[in-house]
């Protein structure tokens, strides 16, 4: 089986990529398989910049084609927050429960008709000698008033998926991987991959 390297240390993302790449005939390796690889600092100001930073850093180190994911939750009533700071919204320890609790508290007085939000996922692909490429996908929904469901990771229990009328964490993994921001971005990447791989080398 062919191998694809995903530059992530997030176990939830790793599982989703495994599920999505399997039907394409790829075995997924992530930075969880290389625990000594240092965390790449996310110093960009957009999801795309951070995805490129992660993909290029790991691609240079491994001298291989690498895909990276930078993603997060954007809430209208919070002017797009937590956005690119989603992982560390409630502190450096990247605690999903604390992050959700912080959002629920901030949204306590936000009425039902003003709770629109979306997940955003930027994927970057980098390969030796090539310019990195990015694609993105979104998933629309609403912020719930309490946690629901036990699947997924991150903010999934407090995000009501508009098209399913269920919390993201209530969807089975195979359902999430049909409709998620990550799945939509990956579909676009799949379309662009052949031309990327056969395209020009960087000068």
Active-site residues, by number, are: 70
Nearer to ligand ITT, 59 or 71 (CB): 71
Task: Determine whether the annotation assigns residue 131 to a binding site.
Answer: no
Q: How far is CA 93 from the centre of its chain?
A: 18
69 binds ligand ITT (CB under 6 A): yes
Tokens representing residue 175 in the block: 């359902």
The residue sitting closest to Mg ion, measured at its beta carbon, is 87
Q: Is 10 annotated as a binding residue?
A: yes
The answer to the question of residue 55 lying near ligand ITT (CB under 6 A) is no
Rounded to a whole number of angstroms, the minimum distance from the CB of residue 105 to ligand ITT is 16
Helices (H), the chain: 11-21, 47-62, 96-106, 173-179, 181-198
Please, what is the Cα angle at 77 between 73 and 54, to 5 degrees?
25
Q: Which of residues 26, 34, 153, 196 is near ligand ITT by CB under 6 A?
A: 153
Whole-angstrom distance, CA of residue 141 vs CA of residue 164: 9
Residue 141 in the binding site for ligand ITT (CB under 6 A):
no
Find the part of the chain contacting ligand ITT (CB under 6 A) among 5-13, 57-65, 101-109, 192-200.
5-13
DSSP class per residue in 90-120: T-TT--HHHHHHHHHHHTTT--GGG-EEEEE
Within 10 angstroms of residue 102's Cβ, the number of other Cβ atoms is: 16
List residues forming the annotated binding site for Mg(2+): 41, 70
Sites of contact with ligand ITT (CB under 6 A): 8-10, 13, 42, 69-73, 86-87, 99, 119, 152-156, 180, 182
């Amino acid at each position: 089986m062919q191998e694809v390297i995903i530059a992530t240390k997030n176990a939830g993302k790793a599982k989703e990529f495994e599920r999505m790449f399997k039907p394409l005939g790829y075995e997924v390796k992530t930075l969880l398989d290389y625990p000594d690889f240092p965390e790449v600092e996310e110093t960009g100001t957009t999801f795309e910049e951070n995805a490129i930073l992660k993909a290029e850093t790991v691609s240079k180190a491994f001298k291989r084609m690498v895909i990276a994911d930078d993603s997060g939750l954007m809430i209208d009533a919070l002017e797009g927050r937590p956005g690119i700071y989603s992982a560390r919204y409630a502190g450096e320890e990247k605690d999903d429960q604390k992050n959700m609790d912080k959002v629920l508290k901030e949204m306590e007085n936000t009425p039902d008709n003003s709770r629109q939000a979306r997940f955003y996922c930027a994927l970057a692909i980098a390969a030796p000698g090539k310019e990195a490429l990015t694609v993105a996908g979104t998933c629309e929904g609403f912020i719930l008033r309490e946690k629901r469901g036990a699947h997924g990771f991150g903010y999934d229990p407090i995000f009501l998926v508009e098209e399913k009328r269920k919390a993201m964490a209530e969807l089975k993994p195979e359902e999430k991987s049909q409709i998620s921001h990550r799945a939509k971005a990956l579909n676009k990447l799949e379309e662009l991959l052949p031309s990327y791989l056969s395209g020009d080398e960087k000068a």
